[in-house]
Amino acid sequence: MSDFDFDACVVGAGAVGLACGYALAKRNLSVVVLEKERAIGQGVSSRNSEVIHAGLYYPTGSLKARFCVEGRRALYGFLESHKVAYRKCGKLVVAVEAEQTPRLDAIQRQALENDVEGVSMISGKAAMDLEPGLRAVAALSSSESGLFDSHGYMAAMQGEIEARDGAVVLATPFEGAAPLPGGGFRIRAGGEAPASLDARLLITAPGLGAQTVAAEIEGFPHEVIPALHYGKGVYFRLRGRAPFERLIYPPPIPGALGTHYRRDLGGQAVFGPDLAFVDHEDYAVDPARAAGFYDYIRQFWPGLPDNSLDPDYAGLRPKIHGPGEPQPDFRLDDQSVHGLPGLMALFGIESPGLTSSLAIGEAVASRLTQA
């Protein structure tokens, strides 16, 4: 009989924490997931584009490149077997000026190095034949890109954890942990019924709370905690009929993939997210930002009518780099970084974190259990 209440405690019931819990529960470990909110998936996982990324852009050998491709392949299978809604609609990355075509060539080369299936360069005419109304001089077509119901996905993972006798405990914030002398952690959980529990493994996946949670773990060296930067992105919704079937992306901008188009699962057209660094959690959508959206979107959709965009919602990317700094990789920090055996601390899980989540969960579980 184990001295621990649980084999593993996961902090955060977003897509990534739930995927970690699911991967650990599949290995027959007893799992508890602590979530501070009253429902799962209320953090970054509820304020994003719900795009399944093929894995085109990320530098060769990076965790983002590997997890996005592996995660995407696993995700389609998971969604299918759990009857979660998705649409593999494909995506066009469009060049609207001839000078942009070398950037599409570079993305295609990167995609091939990343082992991404279904990527091909097509002419502007071919793109415009596929999507009448589009303006493009060339496009990179990605058939593996899609959209999904991220909340249905998270609920299905919660179901998988609970079916293996794991627990997802809501309204229960992690408030601190101390390493136990013989290994494992004593964890303090708050909420209406504060409690202490012992777990052999501790995984922190609290999204925007990653830095705060790490600082609450006794013995976690503060100098290895990366700075948190909020990369805000807002969305506008089109009043009227969705013009295109596929995802439409411009070439990426520094720090983000660029304001893109999607027809969501409900059939409505949504544009966003843009990128602005902000200094606090703020989800307001300033209607004045629409002006920039009209100019930007008309580059690839000249037919966008005046006064047709309504403010929709905003999300915050949990960035660990500031404006102008190179975009770092996902961080899965283990003992080699912070010196605490049995602890995996995740930082900077921004896009493509949703697509990558199943692969991140598998990597975390196999690194912590060596299996």
Ligand X SMILES: Cc1cc2nc3c(=O)[nH]c(=O)nc-3n(C[C@H](O)[C@H](O)[C@H](O)COP(=O)(O)OP(=O)(O)OC[C@H]3O[C@@H](n4cnc5c(N)ncnc54)[C@H](O)[C@@H]3O)c2cc1C
> Where does this chain touch ligand X (CB under 6 A) — which range of 15-23, 111-119, 240-248, 296-304?
15-23
Considering only 315, 342, 348, 361, the residue that binds ligand X (CB under 6 A) is 315
CB atoms within 10 A of CB 239: 12
Q: Which residue has the tokens 């990527």?
A: 119
Interface with ligand X, residue 34, by CB under 6 A: yes
Task: Give the residue with the Cβ less far from ligand X, 130 or 171.
Answer: 171
Please give the backbone phi and psi of residue 333, each rounded to the nearest 5 degrees, phi first: -90, 120
- What one-letter code names the amino acid at 356? S
Considering only 9, 36, 243, 345, the residue that binds ligand X (CB under 6 A) is 36
Q: Tell me if 34 sits within 8 A of 191, measured CB to CB.
A: no
Length of the chain: 371
Considering only 4, 7, 10, 17, the residue that binds ligand X (CB under 6 A) is 17
Q: 221: number of CA atoms within 13 Å, CB side?
A: 10
Q: Which residue has the tokens 């998270």?
A: 154
Interface with ligand X, residue 44, by CB under 6 A: yes
Interface with ligand X, residue 213, by CB under 6 A: yes
Interface with ligand X, residue 91, by CB under 6 A: no
For residues 187 and 37, what is the distance between their CA atoms, to the nearest angstrom?
18
Task: Give the residue with the Cβ less far from ligand X, 287 or 302.
Answer: 287
Task: Give the residue with the Cβ less far from ligand X, 124 or 235.
Answer: 235
> Where does this chain touch ligand X (CB under 6 A) — which range of 30-38, 92-100, 108-116, 281-289?
30-38
Q: How far is the CB of 114 from ligand X (least distance, A)?
A: 15
Considering only 108, 141, 142, 355, the residue that binds ligand X (CB under 6 A) is 355
For residues 232 and 319, what is the distance between their CA atoms, to the nearest angstrom?
10
Task: Give the residue with the Cβ less far from ligand X, 200 or 229.
Answer: 229
Interface with ligand X, residue 55, by CB under 6 A: no
CB atoms within 10 A of CB 59: 14
For residues 51 and 282, what is the distance between their CA atoms, to the nearest angstrom?
23
The 8-class DSSP code of residue 315 comes to E
Interface with ligand X, residue 62, by CB under 6 A: no
Q: How far is the CB of 253 from ligand X (least distance, A)?
A: 13
> Where does this chain touch ligand X (CB under 6 A) — which range of 8-16, 94-102, 133-141, 288-296?
8-16
Task: Give the residue with the Cβ less far from ligand X, 137 or 274.
Answer: 274
Task: Give the residue with the Cβ less far from ligand X, 174 or 220.
Answer: 174
b/e map 72-91, b = 16+ CB within 10 Å: bebbeebbeeeebebbebbb
| Burial class of residue 370 in the structure, from the number of CB atoms within 10 Å of its CB (0-12 exposed, 13-18 middle, 19+ buried) | exposed
How many binding residues for ligand X (CB under 6 A)?
Answer: 41
Q: How far is the CB of 86 from ligand X (least distance, A)?
A: 12
> What residues between 144 and 173 interact with ligand X by CB under 6 A?
173
Task: Give the residue with the Cβ less far from ligand X, 124 or 251.
Answer: 251
Considering only 8, 9, 12, 142, the residue that binds ligand X (CB under 6 A) is 12
Residue 107 φ/ψ region, left for φ over 0, alpha for ψ in the -120 to 50 degree band, beta for the rest? alpha
b/e map 277-299, b = 16+ CB within 10 Å: eeeeeeeebeeebbeebbebbee
> What residues between 230 and 289 interact with ligand X by CB under 6 A?
233, 273
Considering only 207, 251, 348, 361, the residue that binds ligand X (CB under 6 A) is 207
For residues 69 and 368, what is the distance between their CA atoms, to the nearest angstrom?
22
Q: How far is the CB of 285 from ligand X (least distance, A)?
A: 12
Interface with ligand X, residue 319, by CB under 6 A: no
Closest CA to 224 of 100, 82, 331: 331
Interface with ligand X, residue 13, by CB under 6 A: yes
| Residue ranges that bind ligand X, judged by CB under 6 A | 11-17, 34-37, 42-45, 47-51, 53, 173-174, 205-209, 213, 233, 273, 315-317, 349-355
